[in-house]
Amino acid sequence: MKLDPFYLIVDSAAWIERLVPLGVKLVQLRIKNRSDEEIRSEIRIAKAICAAYHCQLIVNDYWLLAIEEGCDFVHLGQEDLAAADLAAIRTAGLKLGVSTHDETELQTALAAEPDYVALGPIYPTILKKMKWAPQGLARISAWRERGGKMPLVAIGGLNIERLEGVFAHGANSAAVVTDITLNVDPEARTREWIGKTRAWR
């Protein structure tokens, strides 16, 4: 499976409606602290927009809602994975991405036979408090060796200026939140990301 090198992560269907039509081909809906019914509604809207623009939608955390809403890709962290019904996810035909932050988590992730592994935070992130120090670029190369051909997503503190480094060290895709959503011009920054990642598409 080939992942688009530009992996946008946003917290609402409204962001998806705003940015996906610009040419984004891989987007994660990552919503926290909302009711299941609100999240279901957001998934439904996001799915329709992504279908219209041929963009791969990945639902974060809410694997059961993703199954119920007919989505085809979920992202789970380690705690999410431990609580999830992996067999149900697979039986429903969904693809799976898994977060990793250390060697033990990588082993757990690989044992689940995911469709990609994410490594983070590569650089410091302001989005969420994390208990792991920044991994640095060399760690991407280590994960590439350990994971073989497994698609590898780099995440955490990424911006346009850091892309060369993450791809040169073996990442297949670069995930981003705040470099776009907190930018003064998110649309322009999205276009920059699409252009800058073209070489790895």
Ligand X SMILES: Cc1ncc(COP(=O)(O)OP(=O)(O)O)c(N)n1
Residues within the interface to Mg ion (CB under 5 A)? 61, 77, 80
Distance in Å, CB of 91 to ligand 3NM, minimum? 27
- Binders of ligand X among residues 67 to 96 (CB under 6 A) are 75, 77, 80
Torsion of CA 188, 191, 196, 201, to 10 degrees: 160
Pick 77 or 136: Cβ nearer Mg ion:
77
User: Given the rule CB under 6 A, which residues bind ligand 3NM?
Assistant: 99, 101, 120-121, 125, 127-128, 155-158, 176-179
Residues 11-50 that bind ligand X (CB under 6 A): 28, 30
Residue choice 25, 99, 114, 189 for contact with ligand X (CB under 6 A): 99
Q: Cβ 119 to ligand 3NM, closest distance in Å?
A: 7
DSSP the chain: ----SEEEEESSHHHHHHHGGGT--EEEE---S--HHHHHHHHHHHHHHHHHTT-EEEEES-HHHHHHTT--EEEE-HHHHHHS-HHHHHHTT-EEEEEE-SHHHHHHHHHT--SEEEE--SS--SSS--SSPP--HHHHHHHHHHHTTS-EEEESS--GGGHHHHHHTT-SEEEESHHHHTSS-HHHHHHHHHHHTGGG-
- Compare residues 99 and 173 and give the one whose CB is closer to ligand 3NM: 99
Name which of ligand X, Mg ion, ligand 3NM, none residue 121 binds, using a CB cut-off of 5 to 8 Å depending on partner kind. ligand 3NM
Q: Which listed option, Mg ion, ligand 3NM, ligand X, none, makes contact with residue 16 (CB within 5 to 8 Å by class)?
A: none
Residue 11 beta carbon to ligand 3NM: minimum distance, rounded to whole angstroms: 10
189 binds ligand X (CB under 6 A): no
